[in-house]
Structure 1
Amino acid sequence: MERWRRAWREGGMEGLRSVGPANSPTITDAQFAVLEEELGRGPAARGFDDERWTLVRVQVVIRRCLRVSLSVATVWRPLKRHGWSYPHRALGG
């Protein structure tokens, strides 16, 4: 609440104007290379019970290895951007 008050005091109505959506976390190309290496080791190597990748499992790997928190819905974006297809490579189809 204080942030809004300060914005009002410092900039009036213009200070309250939206500057667009907040930036969601993203993964750099260098981070993706690390992720791809980890995914290449397979789910069992990361402590999962079987050899299937799911978006939730990829999310866990991203959080543990890269220390980046992405929503499950957002996890798919870097995979798709780097040419992973559903379900063959991304989810171990």
Structure 2
Amino acid sequence: MLAAALFEAGQHSQAEVARMLGVSRQAVHQWHQAWSKGGTNALHPGQQGADTLLAPEQERELISLILQGPGTHGWDDQQWTLARINRLIKERFGRCYADPSGVWRMMDRLGLSWQVPAVRAGERDEEDIAAWRTQVWPRVKRGSAPVRGVDRFR
């Protein structure tokens, strides 16, 4: 591990090691304490964090169940919530999270977004929006003079 080599060299502070490795100073402090007590072997990755609620094959199955949509599982409003996903986990796998934040963390770890897509107005005109963004907004943003050739008071 690079952190151990840097600690052994003794040429860098913990803050410098954190910047070099792109991690927090707190993480480097914990690594340094472990390294001081057990050497380089104490820094080898082991079991980190709590055990996951579901086995990897169950997580893959859960992803496919979620992708089927909430309507398939009895929720006709077509929206997943953390509570609904937790209920699906309980019904399908016999386990559940005690707190909705556990469902959120699992969803994040599995690469699933909990966000509801934005609803777009039916009247939305993408061409007009693109023209406004490229032609009008740059002038407004710069604070330039009003558009030439347009007389609003005629």
TM-score by length of 2: 0.39
Aligned mate of 1:75, from 103, 109, 112: 103
1:86 offset after TM fit, Å? 3.3
Residue of structure 1 equivalent to 2:59: 32
Off by >2 Å, runs of 4+ in structure 1? none
* Counterpart contact for 2:70–2:76, Cα < 8 Å: yes
What is the letter of the counterpart of residue 100 of structure 2? V
* Counterpart contact for 2:86–2:103, Cα < 8 Å: yes
* Matching of residue 49 in structure 1 with residue 83 in structure 2: no
1:37 partner SS: helix
Q: Which runs of 5+ in 2 are unaligned?
A: 1-49, 118-154
Q: 1:44-93 deviations in whole A, cap 9, x for unaligned?
A: 11011211111011111111111111131211121111111231xxxx43
User: Aligned residue pairs: how many?
Assistant: 67
Q: Which has the higher contact order (CA 8 A, sep 6+)?
A: 1
2:95 partner SS: coil
Distance 1:24 1:42 in 2: 27
Cα RMSD after superposing both structures: 1.8
